[in-house]
Chain A
Amino acid sequence: MYYQYSRRTFLKQIVGAATGFLTACNLRNAEQNKTVKIGAMYLLTGGFATYGEFARDGINLALEEINQTGGIDGRPVEIIFEHEGSPIQTARRLVLQEKVDFLLGIDSSGNAEALVPIIPELEKILMITHAASPKVTGSLCNKYVFRCSVNSPQNSTAGAIVAAEEGYQKWTTIGPDYAFGRQSWELFQKALQERKEGVEFLKTTAFPKLGVQDYNSFITKLQNSGTDAIWCSLWGNDLVNFIRQANNFGLFERFPVYMELGAAMEVLTALGEQMPLGQWVGTRYWWQTPDTQINRNFVQKFRDRYNTYPSYNAQNAYVGLHLIAAAANEAKSTDTAAVIEALKGRSYQAPMGQLILREQDRQAVVDVTWGKTAASSDYNFRVLDPIKVIKGDAIARQPSLTGCQN
C-alpha cells in the first residue's frame, strides 16, 4: 500500500506551508519593527567602573523619559549595555549580531581612538558621551561619529581663560602620563600664552603614570620647582590620591592648583572636607549650572531615582541618548543617513545648557563651568563659589584647525 497523494492534499499542504512561512516572516518583521536597539559601551568593570555606572544611570533615566513619550518613531527603545574593553569587537558584535541601530558611549580616549576609524565599515552612528581626545572629532573624524560632551581642548582652554585672570606668571603641571595629561598641558600652555603676556612654563613637570599610589615625591618636586601656580589634569582616583597626599604636605596652602577635573562629583564626594578650599576646579558639567528649568528637573529626577547628584558622565550619557532619539524622531526613521542629517548642526537644550553639534566636525559646542571650591553647610561635599561659566564659542577649536577633513 502506498499513500494516496491527492491533488487536494498537496494543495492544502502547499497553502498551509506558504501561510506558515509568510506568517513567520511577518512575525520576524513585526519583531524587528518592535524595538529600536541601541548599544551602549562604557567601562562597566575594573578600576574605572564608577564612570560606566554613572553613564548607565543617566541612560536609564533618559530611556524611561523617551519610552514614556512614544519612543523613537513610535517604537520603544531598548538599550544593550556592554563593557567597552576590546571596543572594536564589541561594537562589531553589537551591530552585526544584536542588530543595534545606534552606538553610544565610550569612556576611555584610547578606546575611542581605536574604535572611531572602524565605525564607517559598520555604517552606524556612534555618539561619544565621555572620551575627550581631540582626535576623534579631529584627525580621526568621520561622518558617523558625533560627540555631545566637552573635549579636552575645550576643557584646557576654559582653564586657561580662568587662569589668565589672576597674576600668576610661572606655571608647572602634574598630570597622568599618557596622551590626555600631555595634551592637556600643551593645550593649556598654548591657550594661556595667547591670553596673557610674560607667562613662563617650567621645564620641571610631574607626570605620574596612571594608578600610581604614592605621590609624595611628585609633590616634593612640585614644591621645589619654583612655580607660582600648578595646572593639574589628574582625574578620578588618582586625583583623590594626589589631593590627600598634597594636603599632608600643605601644598594647597602654598600654591594655587587649577584642577581641570576637580569638580567631578565622584572626586568631590570621595573627598568631602578634605577637598581644599579656594582652589579653581573644572568639570564637564556642573549640576548647579545653568540655573534652568531643564537642569533643575534633571537634577531632581536623578536625585529621586539614584539618591545622588548627577556626575558629568551621567549628564553626558543622558544627553547622548536624548540627542539620538530627538534626531531620529525628526527624521522619522532610524536610517543612518537620515539621522546623520538630523544630527548635523543640531541645537539641543541639555541640562548643561544650549548645545550645538556643529556641522564641520560634529563636536558639541557648549559652555563649560569652572568654580572655586567652597564650603557649604547644605552639602557634605565642597561646592563651587564663585562659579564662572565660559562661553562655548570662546573655547571651541577653529573648525579649520581640528584636522577633521571628512
Chain B
Amino acid sequence: MSITTLLFFFLNGLSEGLLLFLIALGLNLIFGVMGVLNFAHGSLYMLGAYLTYTIAVQGNLSFWLALIIAPVIVALVGGAIEILCLRPIYNRDVSSQLLLTFAFVLLINDLVRLLWGNLPLTILNPELFQQTTQILGDPYPTYNLFIILITPAIAIGLWLLLKRTRWGKLMRAAARDPVMTGALGINVSRLFTLVFILGTWLAGVAGVLAAPLRTINPAMGDNIIIESFIVVVIGGLGNLPGSLVGALTIGQVNSFGILIAQRAQVAFPFILMTIVLLLRPRGLFGKSRS
C-alpha cells in the first residue's frame, strides 16, 4: 500500500466528513439553541440539491448562482416552518416537536416527488472542477479538494458570527438560558426564528455542495439524516466543535473501514456511537446542563 493510496483514503474521509459536518452543524445549532431535534433537516438538504438542479440545469444558470440562491430559498422554507408550525408548540411536550418535524420529512419528500418526479437527476461538476488534480503523481478529484476547502471556510464564518457579533452573543445566551435572555428584554422568539433560518440555510448549502457529487433523488435526505444524528450524538448534543470532531471521525472510520474491514464497515459508526454513549453519555464534548 503506497503513501499516495493512504493519503487518498485520508482525503476521501476528510471530504465525506466535512460535508457531513456541514449537515450536522445546522442540525446541532438548532438543537443547541432551541432544543428542537429537526428530523426534517435531511429533507431540507435534499431540497437544496433539487433547487440546484432547477437553477443550474433547468434554468441553465451557473452552479455558483445556485450556491447563493438555493440555500436562501431553503432557509425561507425553514423560516416559514418555524414561524407557522414550530412556534405555536414550544410549550408542549418535546414529542410534539418530534412528530411535527417528522411530518415535514414526509411532506417535503412528497413535495419533491410531485415537483421533480421520482427519476434520479444529476448535475455536472462546476466547470472549474471537472478535471482531476495530480497528487503525488496520481489523479484526485478536484471537486473533493474544493469541498475540503470551502467547508472549513463556512464553519469559520459561522464561528466568527457566534463569537464576535451581537447576534451570536444573543444566540449563545439564549442557548444557555432562554428565560433569562427573554427577561433581559431580548425577543427570544425572533431569535429562535433566526437560528432556525441559519440552521436550515446550512442544510441548503450542504445540499448544493452535494449535488454535483451525489445523485439527486427523493431518498437522499433519508440516507444522510441517520449519520448526521450519529455525528451529533458522538460530538455532544448542542456542541458545535464536537460536531466537527464527530463528523471527521465518522468520515475517517468510513473511509479506512473500507480498506481494513469492509464487511464490518457498515457497523463502525454505530459501534463508535455505542462506545461514546457508554463512556461519555453526553458525547465527547457534551457538558451536563445543570
A residues near B, CB below 8 A? 46-47, 49-50, 53, 177, 205-209, 211, 213-214, 216-218, 220-221, 224, 236-237, 240-241, 244-245, 248-250, 266-267, 269-272, 274
Contacts and interface: CB of A to CB of B under 8 A. Distances in A.
Interface stretch (B25-33, B75-83, B117-125): B117-125
Contact of B218 (A49, A244, A267): A49
Contacts of B126: none
Contacts of B141: 216, 245, 248-249
B143 A216 contact: no
A236 to B, nearest CB: 7
B62 interface: no
7 closest residue pairs by CB, A with B: A47-B219, A248-B141, A216-B12, A270-B120, A217-B255, A240-B215, A217-B12
B187 interface: no
B17 to A, nearest CB: 10
B262 interface: yes
A236 B120 contact: yes
B120 A224 contact: no
Contact of B5 (A46, A224, A244): A224
B254 A274 contact: no
Given A216-B12, A248-B132, 17 more contacts: A47-B218, A49-B113, A49-B218, A50-B119, A205-B262, A214-B12, A221-B258, A237-B120, A240-B120, A240-B215, A241-B214, A244-B212, A244-B214, A250-B132, A269-B119, A270-B215, A274-B122
Contacts of A206: 258, 262
Contact of B121 (A205, A216, A224, A270): A270
Nearest to B139: A250
Contacts of A208: 258
Nearest to A218: B258
Contacts of B266: 177, 209
Interface of B: 1-2, 5, 8-9, 12-13, 15-16, 113, 118-122, 124-125, 132, 139-144, 210, 212-215, 217-220, 222-224, 254-256, 258-259, 262-263, 266
B220 A213 contact: yes
Given A49-B118, A248-B141, A270-B121, A211 B223 contact: yes
Contacts of A267: 120
A220 B219 contact: no
A53 B3 CA distance: 47
8 contacts: A47-B217, A177-B266, A213-B224, A217-B258, A218-B258, A237-B215, A248-B141, A267-B120
A270 B258 contact: no
A174 B8 CA distance: 19
A249 B214 CA distance: 14
Given A213-B223, A236-B120, A244 B258 contact: no
A248 B125 contact: yes
B118 A53 contact: yes
A241 B113 contact: no
A11 B213 CA distance: 82
Given A217-B12, A274-B124, A245 B219 contact: no
A249 B5 CA distance: 13
Nearest to B129: A248
B122 A271 contact: yes
Per DSSP, chain B at the interface is: helix
Contacts of B218: 47, 49
Contact of B122 (A211, A248, A272): A272
A50 B120 contact: yes
A205 B219 CA distance: 26
Contacts of A224: 1-2, 5
Contacts of B124: 274
A401 to B, nearest CB: 28
Contact of B12 (A213, A220, A240, A241): A220
Given A213-B223, A250-B139, A221 B122 contact: no
Contacts of B213: 214, 244-245, 248
Nearest to A177: B266
Contacts of A46: 219
A49 to B, nearest CB: 5
A306 to B, nearest CB: 12
Contacts of B223: 47, 211, 213
Contacts of B13: 217
Contacts of A245: 141, 213
A346 B219 CA distance: 39
B130 to A, nearest CB: 8
Contacts of A214: 12, 16, 213-214, 254
A390 to B, nearest CB: 28
Contacts of B143: 248
> Which residue, of A236, A249, A269, A271, has the highest number of chain B Cβ atoms within 10 A?
A249
A320 B46 CA distance: 35
A221 B256 CA distance: 10
A220 B5 contact: yes
A217 B259 contact: yes
B119 A270 contact: yes
A216 B8 CA distance: 9
A244 B215 CA distance: 8
A211 B219 contact: yes
> Which residue, of B143, B219, B224, has the highest number of chain A Cβ atoms within 10 A?
B219
Contacts of A237: 120, 215, 217, 219
B262 A241 contact: no
Given A217-B254, A270-B122, A248 B220 contact: no
Nearest to B20: A214
A249 B130 CA distance: 10
Nearest to A246: B141
A217 B9 contact: yes
Nearest to A208: B258
A122 to B, nearest CB: 30
Contacts of B121: 270
Contact of A216 (B15, B132, B217, B220): B15
Nearest to B121: A270
A225 B283 CA distance: 37
B282 to A, nearest CB: 28
Contacts of B118: 49-50, 53
